[in-house]
A and B are shown apart, each in its own frame.
Chain A
Amino acid sequence: MTNRAVPDAATQLEIYRRMALIKANDERSRKVIMTGRLVMPYYSPRGQEVIPSAISVNLTDDDYICTIYRGSHDQLAKGLPLKDLWAEVAGRTSGTCKGKGGPMHVTYPTKGIMVTTGIVGSTMPIANGLAWGSQLRGDGRVTVANFGDGAANIGAFHESLNLASVWKLPVIFVCQNNEWGEHTAYDKTSNVPVAARAAAYGIPGERVDGNDPFAMYAAAHEAIARARAGEGPTLIEAMTYRFHGHVFGDQDAYMDKGRKAQALADDPVPRFRARLIADGVAGEDQLAAMEADIEAQIDEAVEFALAGDFPGIEELKRDVFAEELN
């Protein structure tokens, strides 16, 4: 396509900042679990940094996202404060959800992070409702529903795309195709690209290189503009690769070594970093300072989280209903 939206220098830098934050946070998460300071199920988004970073620079705090257990990249890109995230995954009262959600259920409406779900394929039906709300109010907000390639084969995907299409909802369905659904390769579960399915529902669908910040930015920019203009939903299939096993501790024996080595060599984070320098968007010192600042923020967030209190037992009965029932 020609004449696609191009991020300006400041936006490129902001995309990189979010990518660097996600990468650093992922590395720290693995380290903190490895050293036994924290126990949690952890689904690494390493390798998928570009997707939410390039999307979220097109969103405001008022826009909504729904994401999945592998969603810390989506949450951080959308502006979830590190301290709140770390305290939540550490199960502390200072977390976004008082420690009652945990890594698979982070919610933070202040930044439009409305649902994080552990159920494959369930972001899409709820995203439709958020988008319906925006449509009814005419508030111009858009909703991004994130999900994996595995989720594209569940019934809720099809129901949701169809409903969003007939209701012309301001929602963007973002399939983060990291080639894996748990241990099963995407090509063993479907014979068609996810993006091709958009045609079945009469909505625009695009398969994009989800590791290319420019391509991802352009696709997101256009889809979001369409949604805001009342022109309905878009399906984006963002091609990427999962650097680690499905869940922390998974030895990834099922992943092809050559393919994985190639993906690691193509790591989108250093690649974009080098490009920013080559294009004169940022200097090495500037980026190094940004990265150091991120590390310092993570240091602070981890210590803040681990120093926090666990919720009291009375929280068991709280928030089940609006009023506590016996």
Chain B
Amino acid sequence: MATQAAAKPAKANILQAINAAIADAMEADDNVVVLGEDVADPEEGGVCGVTKGLSSRFGDARVRSTPISEQAIIGAAIGASLVGFKPVAEIMLMNFTTVAMDMIVNHAAKLRFMSGGQTHVPIVIRTMTGTGFASGGQHCDYLEAWFAHTAGIKVVAPSSPRDAYGLMRSAIDDPDPVMFIENLPTYWAPAEAPEKGHRVPIGKANVLSEGSDVTIVAYARMIQEALPAVAQLAEAGISAELIDLRTIAPWDRETVLASVAKTGRAMIVHEAVTPFGVGAEIGSVLNEELFGKLKAPVKRLGGAFCPVPFSKPLETAFAPQTADIVAAAQALMGR
């Protein structure tokens, strides 16, 4: 800040943080390899440039652009991982994971179990999604619940550059397949830069603000909507605890349950459609574990149950916004 005499803290955006995390992991371990459509430098390091520079630095044997063949991409990642590599595979947008579901759900997720632990699939599947960039129904779905519902896959969704770096390093270290969901509209905002080697453990949530009246559980871009909501609620005399889940599967039950046990009120906010979503799962566990301690029914706040619309006002209205979070918290407080 301008008033501070000390040197400005280093800044980075999420895109740079992920790039740095993969580069640092590749530098530390020759078995880390990257593949996906356009990921190498002649192809510009991916549509958003997340992997820019990696092929020039580490060679095009380890950083490979692929044909538009999602099954082949994930299959190659799985096969290489079975023999000791740690592939970071990019599926350009989350909707395109649908084309590779067999590889992800039937193979990546299950080979450890079905082989009785003889083989395992330490791959990272990087993918991007998120509403707000006017791409309509087939390019911005949040499908995390599909993967979280599949035993054998971990799912993470960072909301800041530090977490993006730390979670990517942990995901690459992880012996199991990790779905790494990046939110495209949040890529470019600078924030505190991660330091080299920083790790965010998979499965640990982050309490972004402490409060006593209501717990807000959110992740990815919804953190950006929730942060101003917390401030507005404070002005209205409501003390909200904001938890950034960071990891969706496995989610941090301990942190969330402790918080809701304290506040007695909870809402879960996600960009994915509400029915059968992550909110339903967390809400159900809160009911099972905290029945009798809850002061109000657990609230789910998610996207409208429709394909993501193109038209700007509809697209904006699709996902929960700050005002929705404020209103829901007030309703939970009986106001």
Binding site for B on A (CB under 8 A): 64, 95-102, 105, 107-109, 114-115, 117-119, 122, 124-136, 143, 155-156, 159-160, 162-163, 166-167, 318-322, 325-326
What class of interface size applies to chain B in its complex with A? 35 or more
Q: Which residues of A contact B250 (CB under 8 A)?
A: 325-326
A115 B82 Cβ-Cβ under 8 A: yes
Interface centre among B85, B114, B152, B176 (most CB of A within 10 A): B114
Q: Which residues of A contact B115 (CB under 8 A)?
A: 96-97, 100-101, 105, 107, 319
- Take A129-B76, A131-B79, A163-B67 as given contacts and tell me if A319 and B116 are in contact as well, using a CB distance cutoff of 8 Å: yes
| Cβ distance B29 to chain A, nearest Cβ, rounded Å | 13
Binding site for A on B (CB under 8 A): 33, 61-62, 64, 66-67, 69-72, 74-85, 87, 102-103, 106-107, 111-120, 151-152, 154, 174-176, 250, 253
Further 6 A-B residue pairs, CB within 8 A, beyond A125-B79, A156-B102, A321-B112: A98-B117, A122-B75, A122-B107, A155-B71, A159-B67, A318-B117
Give the residue name and chain of the A residue nearest to B66 (CB): A163
- The docked-state distance in angstroms from the alpha carbon of A143 to that of B76 is 12
B79 A129 Cβ-Cβ under 8 A: yes
| Cβ distance B327 to chain A, nearest Cβ, rounded Å | 34
- Take A128-B79, A166-B67, A167-B64 as given contacts and tell me if A322 and B112 are in contact as well, using a CB distance cutoff of 8 Å: yes
Q: Which of A105, A128, A319 contacts B72 (CB 8 A)?
A: A128
| Cβ distance A69 to chain B, nearest Cβ, rounded Å | 12
Q: Which 3 residue pairs across A and B have the least CB separation, nearest first? A: A129-B79, A125-B75, A98-B116
- The docked-state distance in angstroms from the alpha carbon of A140 to that of B77 is 19
A109 B79 Cβ-Cβ under 8 A: no
Give 7 A-B contacts (CB < 8 Å), ordered by A residue.
Answer: A100-B113, A102-B114, A124-B75, A125-B78, A128-B75, A159-B71, A321-B154
- The docked-state distance in angstroms from the alpha carbon of A166 to that of B69 is 12
- The docked-state distance in angstroms from the alpha carbon of A132 to that of B83 is 10
Give the residue name and chain of the A residue nearest to B103 (CB): A125
- Take A97-B116, A319-B117 as given contacts and tell me if A132 and B76 are in contact as well, using a CB distance cutoff of 8 Å: yes
A136 B33 Cβ-Cβ under 8 A: yes
A126 B118 Cβ-Cβ under 8 A: no
B79 A133 Cβ-Cβ under 8 A: yes
Q: Which residues of A contact B116 (CB under 8 A)?
A: 95-101, 107, 319
- The docked-state distance in angstroms from the alpha carbon of A128 to that of B77 is 9
